[in-house]
Amino acid sequence: MIYPHLKLLKIMYKKYCIANWKMNLSNAQCREYIDTWNNKNVFNDKVKTIICPPFTSLHLFTDLLQKNTEYGAQNIFYENSGAFTGETSAIMLKELGCKWIIIGHSERRNILNESDEMINKKLLNLMNEGLNPILCIGEKKEDRLRGETNKVIDRQLSSAFKNINLNFNNVMVIAYEPIWAIGTGLNAESDQINEVHYQIRNFINKKGLKNKNISIIYGGSVKEENAEYLSKIDNVDGFLIGGASLDVEIFYNIFNKLQES
């Protein structure tokens, strides 16, 4: 379903081009990527570029990355310190200059069994620490086939935002990533994306959150070939890009498609 009336209320939200490298690229490859990226013109008022490398490369970003690009981590723990072997806190990541943290990615929900409750605790912690969340939500293929996409999205949003202060000032990104589209080469269709993004925007508005600071982006097999099409969909404020962000030239081409949209 298309929601044309939304155009009448159109607010311009900040656009984002976000790379999620997942568990890829060595430090040497990362240095090379940053060198190439730093020679590109990525200054743009409309589109903010953010790269989320593995933890082990974050220090390179502190020293080497050009100013117009920000960087973030792919996860945090919800406590600031203590006996939590293998975990990393918001405070530690702030020390490395991270401004952004991905939470709720489906790979963490499904492979590492992260619950809605944990994601809520992470969101609360990030807000308290003044970091900017990139909150991922999305339905499984079975959910969509059963006609339960909206129910799943509503559950993920309601639990993530439980006890979140309605007057927060943080900048935030919500990434709609249908799980069946991640890494599969199958991107969602315009109507499917528009409908869920509309639902998310509606949720934010009803919560009374300061919504001009919340952009809603799409993720799931974003590539050079479909970036233009996807960037023109109403209510899409940018992309979260996995596989295609590992190649610096492809990532830059996607950024360009987004800034032209």
Considering just the CA atoms, what is the radius of gyration of the chain in Å?
A: 17
Q: Compute CA 141 distance to the chain's CA centroid, rounded to the nearest angstrom.
A: 20
Instruction: Tell me, yes or no, if 197 is annotated catalytic.
Output: no
Q: How far is the CB of 102 from ligand PGA (least distance, A)?
A: 8
Q: Which is nearer to ligand PGA, 209 or 227 (CB)?
A: 227
Distance in Å from the first CA to the final CA of the chain: 22
Instruction: Tell me, yes or no, if 228 is annotated catalytic.
Output: no
According to DSSP, the β-strands at 15-20 and 47-52 are: parallel
**Annotated catalytic residue within 139, 177, 195, 197:** 177
45: left (phi over 0), alpha (psi -120 to 50) or beta: alpha
Task: Judge whether 240 and 175 are in contact, CB under 8 Å.
Answer: yes
Query: Which residue minimizes CB distance to ligand PGA?
Result: 242
Q: How far is the CB of 86 from ligand PGA (least distance, A)?
A: 22
Query: What is the contact surface with ligand PGA in residues (CB under 6 A)?
Result: 20, 177, 182-183, 219-222, 240-244
Q: Which is nearer to ligand PGA, 89 or 221 (CB)?
A: 221
C-alpha closest to that of 54 among 94, 92, 27, 91: 27
Q: Which is nearer to ligand PGA, 34 or 241 (CB)?
A: 241
Q: How far is the CB of 220 from ligand PGA (least distance, A)?
A: 5
Q: How far is the CB of 223 from ligand PGA (least distance, A)?
A: 8
Using the CB atoms, write b or e for 183-201: b if 16+ within 10 Å.
eeeebbeeebbbbbbbbbb
**Annotated catalytic residue within 105, 107, 195, 197:** 105
Q: Which is nearer to ligand PGA, 66 or 190 (CB)?
A: 190
Q: How far is the CB of 25 from ligand PGA (least distance, A)?
A: 14
Strand residue runs (E) in the chain = 15-20, 47-52, 69-73, 100-103, 132-137, 172-176, 214-219, 238-241
Q: Which is nearer to ligand PGA, 51 or 241 (CB)?
A: 241
What is d(CA 208, CA 210) in angstroms, rounded to the nearest whole number? 6
* Active-site amino acid positions: 105, 177
